[in-house]
Amino acid sequence: MKKIILSALIVFGYSANAQQEVKFGPKAGVNFSTLSDVSKAKMLTGFHVGAVAEIKFTDKLSVQPELVYSSQGAKNDYTETFAGVSAHHHNHDKIEYINIPILAKYYIYNGLSVELGPQFGFLVKAESKDEVSVNGSTIKNDRDFKKEVNSFDFGIGAGLAYDLSNGFFVNARYNFGITKVGKSNQYYKDSRNGVTQVGVGYKF
């Protein structure tokens, strides 16, 4: 955790000294995430919250580093039948990261901009909540699988943002993972994160 905080401070500190016109502020929003190459995986709703800095080099071009806590993962919700007995599976796998995206922003028109850049993710926790219902009976199994997930996640973020004149902004972004999520967990061996984010924030 100390290394994560130190990395973020270096990025933000360097950014603040790189240009006089710098804005800081909080941001938060909702995540719609999934994991690729996982059978029956469906979109899981989560959240993100953090801080953002924007360093403007020109009226059109800027760099935006962020420090964001992000709840991601996927869910499975399906029914299977074996020997005439139906079992309904309801599973939530939450994988949470501290992400540091560093985005290049280009303003297309007034406050409307496009964003693109790398994202560096550091694993915080990974928890699974599983429910199996058979003939009216439900079996629950909650477990921690942090040791089965890679501690570092690298991805690319791309999206759109709109800055209002009063300092508020809204943005929509898709983050697609480059590195694999699974380490020793065979279920996630070849999977990668895919997260759609919609958020709001304020820069001052």
Question: How does pLDDT run across 117-133, given as a tens digit for each residue?
Answer: 999 999 999 999 988 88
CA distance 23 to 163: 12
Mean pLDDT of 160-186: 93
Q: Which residues constitute the domain of residue 28?
A: 2-202
CATH for 187 = 2.40.160.20
- Confidence check: pLDDT of 1 > 80: no
DSSP conformational letter for 131: E
Share of the chain above pLDDT 70, in %: 89
In the chain, the number of structural domains is: 1
- Confidence check: pLDDT of 8 > 80: no
Region of 136 (left: φ > 0; alpha: ψ -120 to 50; beta: rest) is: left
pTM listed for this prediction: 0.86
